[in-house]
């Protein structure tokens, strides 16, 4: 719906640029073009003042998307869960110290990236979850307020009216592809047909976009972060890849950074951003590192929708994606506006296997 419209819009607005050379520092790059470019601009403009840190820039950029409800998939009022509630996942990572702070299934607080930053700055922990993350947020001065909107409640009501489709439950009775719950698990054994769907479920293709951003300060210090309201109609309590260090994003100032979006339930099993940054460290180019991380997932889950952006510490960047036309946005050096790059999806498992053979991976 809204998301498809924006994806089409992004496609139309995107310039047919391929992976680009460094445009200079400071530098900002994030998943998705279109409405997400307001976040790129906000972070880039903040970095024009050298007193703004890379962490500040990532927080400012992601908070811009949260406030703008980018595409309905970031911030309040989007992706209602089965109970019609909007909960938020976010993380932020310091590329100097490798410290990260994150919140998962955060309830009734809108500025998830801000709370994640507080976890990073004011605790020795990495990840706080659920109502108790809300308690921490309130202790730190964040406002507890409604995160549902008339729009998100309306979409949840439509979902219920459409027999609760699409639906993330499997191996339950009544059949979750046909009816709403409450559901009961059915006993499984290794010869029952449903057992195999547990091993390799097809990706549920609904909208679940995310902002993941990497910033490079003019000094070379890097930071990364992610903010999302997760997957629409998720099972309450579900946490996606967004707040998982190495999955939603990852950064090491000595090497580079990565940000991800897509079918988070699958992506978080592969830690694609950790993989891509370590591939950079091992000598792959940003394009090779991005392709490799996506192809590792496509090999096991051919239907996966995924997109990652990879940037080295010089600001050389590339993207790779599967299952949809992914776009990313960047602005660096003296660029007077943000550029959007369109990333064609990886086409097939066969090409993936050939690719991996060529790179001897």
Ligand X SMILES: *[C@@H]1O[C@H](CO)[C@@H](O)[C@H](O)[C@H]1NC(C)=O
Interface with ligand X by CB under 6 A: which residues? 175, 177-178, 189, 191-192, 194, 336-337
Is 238 among the annotated ligand-binding positions?
yes
Beta bridge partner(s), residue 329? 30, 340
Residue 269 annotated in ligand binding: no
| Residue 205 is among the residues annotated as catalytic for this protein | no
For ligand X, give the closer residue by CB, 189 or 358: 189
- The rounded distance, in Å, linking the Cα atoms of 291 and 276 is 9
CA gap 334, 325 in Å, rounded: 28
Q: Which residues contact 216 (CB under 8 A, 6 or more apart)?
A: 25, 26, 27, 28, 54, 222, 257, 311, 313, 315, 332
Q: Is the dihedral of CA 285, 290, 293, 296 positive or negative?
A: negative
Q: Is-contact 101 117, C-beta < 8 A?
A: yes
Query: Minimum distance between the CB of residue 196 and ligand X, rounded to whole angstroms?
Result: 11
Nearer to ligand X, 84 or 335 (CB): 335
By C-beta, is 206 or 261 nearer to ligand X? 206
Catalytic residue among 37, 206, 210, 339: 210
Does 332 show up as a binding residue in the annotation?
no
Within 10 angstroms of residue 254's Cβ, the number of other Cβ atoms is 14
Chain position whose Cβ is nearest to ligand X: 192
User: Of the two residues 132 and 186, which places its CB atom closer to ligand X in the complex?
Assistant: 186
Type and span of the H or E element at 236? none
- Ligand-binding site membership of 241 (annotated): yes
Min separation Cβ 116 and ligand X, Å: 31
User: Least Å distance between CB 194 and ligand X?
Assistant: 6
263 is in an annotated binding site: yes
Residues that are catalytic:
210
**Binding site as annotated, residues for substrate:** 238-241, 261-264
**Binding site as annotated, residues:** 238-241, 261-264
């Amino acid at each position: 719906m809204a998301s498809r419209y924006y994806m089409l819009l992004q496609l139309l607005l995107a310039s047919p640029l391929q992976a680009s050379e460094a445009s200079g520092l400071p530098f900002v790059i994030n998943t998705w073009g279109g409405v997400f470019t307001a976040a790129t601009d906000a972070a880039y403009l903040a970095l024009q003042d050298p007193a703004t840190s890379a962490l500040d820039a990532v927080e400012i950029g992601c908070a811009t998307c949260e406030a703008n409800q980018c595409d309905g998939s970031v911030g309040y009022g989007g992706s209602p869960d089965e109970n019609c509630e909007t909960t938020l996942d976010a993380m932020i990572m310091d590329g100097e110290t490798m410290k990260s702070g994150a919140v998962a299934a955060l309830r009734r607080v809108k500025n998830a990236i801000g709370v994640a930053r507080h976890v990073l700055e004011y605790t020795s922990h990495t990840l706080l979850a659920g109502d108790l993350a809300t308690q921490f947020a309130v202790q730190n001065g964040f406002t507890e307020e409604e995160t549902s909107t008339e729009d998100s409640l309306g979409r949840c009501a439509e979902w219920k009216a459409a027999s609760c489709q699409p639906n993330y439950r499997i191996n339950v009775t009544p059949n979750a592809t046909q009816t709403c719950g409450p559901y009961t698990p059915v006993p499984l054994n290794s010869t029952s047909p449903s057992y195999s769907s547990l091993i390799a479920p097809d990706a549920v293709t609904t909208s679940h976009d995310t902002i993941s951003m990497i910033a490079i300060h003019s000094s070379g210090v890097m930071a990364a972060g992610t903010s999302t309201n997760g997957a629409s109609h998720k099972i309450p309590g579900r946490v996606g890849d967004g707040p998982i260090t190495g999955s939603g994003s990852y950064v090491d100032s000595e090497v580079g950074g990565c940000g991800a979006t897509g079918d988070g339930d699958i992506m978080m099993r592969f830690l694609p951003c950790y993989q891509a940054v370590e591939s950079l460290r091992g000598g792959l180019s940003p394009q090779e590192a991005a392709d490799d991380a996506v192809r590792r997932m496509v090999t096991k889950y051919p239907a996966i929708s995924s997109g990652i952006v990879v940037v080295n510490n010089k600001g050389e960047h590339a993207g790779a994606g599967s299952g949809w036309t992914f776009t990313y946005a960047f602005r660096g050096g003296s660029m007077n506006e943000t550029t959007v790059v369109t990333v064609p999806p990886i086409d097939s498992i066969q090409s993936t296997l050939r690719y991996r053979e060529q790179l001897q991976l």
